[in-house]
């Protein structure tokens, strides 16, 4: 497993770096999706199932960002997808310079769809443009339907919201309609995908969206 130790970017403007990276990825035809969530929301499990379902159609790669460990990247690599683990030097988010460094170390040749698994944190990652083509937030049912009230910026910055662990909905008394309403109030354009990687519920809609966005990115 390749592990890259990143260091804080020293460039003046993260926004300019992010725009430049996004333009290069557009030219390459690689859609980069920035996945943001709390720790333990099920990002890696969602990705594992998504990769298994889509790998015959799309070439997928995953950049795993964590403060420590390489457990996530190892899980992804075991599925036969290209993966790299980056360590963020204690940083609570990825910025565009760090994302570029990770992607260059991994290599994007022939990759249609790349995921950046951002550091588990609902606050700081929302403030930094990584250069991704799409931002996706993951909220797991056990976290509760009140999260849009507490972390509004994350919902505002995301193109899609994946609600994971839907199989545990009744157990945790999660109000899906209330959550949907709160998210749409912050961001009327947000696409919402309630899924369970365990039962398979909703995975098809989420994967159709990924295919549609990946095709649109190449146009």
Could you list the residues that contact its own copies (CB under 8 A)?
38-40, 66-69, 71, 90, 92, 119-124, 127, 140, 142-144, 146-147, 149-153, 165, 168, 171
Given the structure tokens 């300019």, which residue do they identify? Answer: 16
Compute the least distance from the CB of residue 215 to its own copies, in Å.
34
Our CB check for its own copies shows the closer of 90 and 188 to be 90
Min separation Cβ 57 and its own copies, Å: 30
CB 139 within 8 A of CB 161: yes
Give the nearest distance from C-beta 149 to its own copies in angstroms.
Answer: 4
Cα–Cα distance list, 193 to 20, 163, 210, 211 (Å): 30, 6, 11, 14
Between 39 and 107, CB nearer to its own copies: 39
Spatial distance between the Cα atoms of 137 and 161, rounded to a whole number of angstroms: 5
Q: How far is the CB of 67 from its own copies (least distance, A)?
A: 7
Q: Which is nearer to its own copies, 7 or 55 (CB)?
A: 7
Sheet of strand 134-140: strand arrangement: 3-5, 82-87, 60-66, 113-117, 31-37, 134-140, 160-164, 191-194
Nearest to its own copies of 29, 144 (CB atom): 144
In the complex with its own copies, the residue whose CB is nearer, 84 or 210, is: 84
Provide the minimum distance between the beta carbon of 88 and its own copies in the complex, in angstroms, as a whole number: 9
């Amino acid at each position: 497993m390749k592990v890259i130790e990143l260091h804080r970017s020293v460039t003046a403007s993260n926004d300019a770096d992010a725009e430049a990276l996004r333009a290069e990825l557009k030219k390459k035809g690689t859609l980069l999706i920035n996945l943001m969530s709390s720790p333990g929301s099920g990002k890696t499990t969602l990705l594992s199932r998504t990769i298994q379902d889509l790998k015959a159609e799309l070439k997928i790669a995953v950049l795993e960002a964590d403060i420590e460990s390489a457990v996530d990247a190892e899980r992804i690599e075991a599925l036969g997808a290209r993966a790299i683990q980056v360590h963020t030097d204690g940083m609570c988010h990825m910025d565009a310079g760090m994302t570029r460094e990770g992607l260059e170390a991994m290599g994007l040749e022939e990759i249609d769809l790349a995921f950046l698994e951002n550091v588990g944190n609902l606050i700081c990652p929302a403030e930094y443009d990584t250069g991704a083509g799409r931002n996706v937030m993951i909220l797991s049912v056990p976290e509760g339907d009140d999260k849009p009230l507490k972390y509004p910026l994350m919902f505002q910055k995301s193109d899609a919201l994946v609600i994971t662990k839907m199989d545990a909905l009744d157990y945790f008394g999660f109000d899906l309609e209330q959550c949907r309403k709160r998210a749409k109030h912050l961001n009327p354009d947000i696409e919402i995908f309630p899924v369970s990687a365990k039962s398979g519920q909703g995975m098809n809609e989420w994967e159709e969206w990924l295919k549609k966005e990946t095709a649109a990115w190449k146009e």
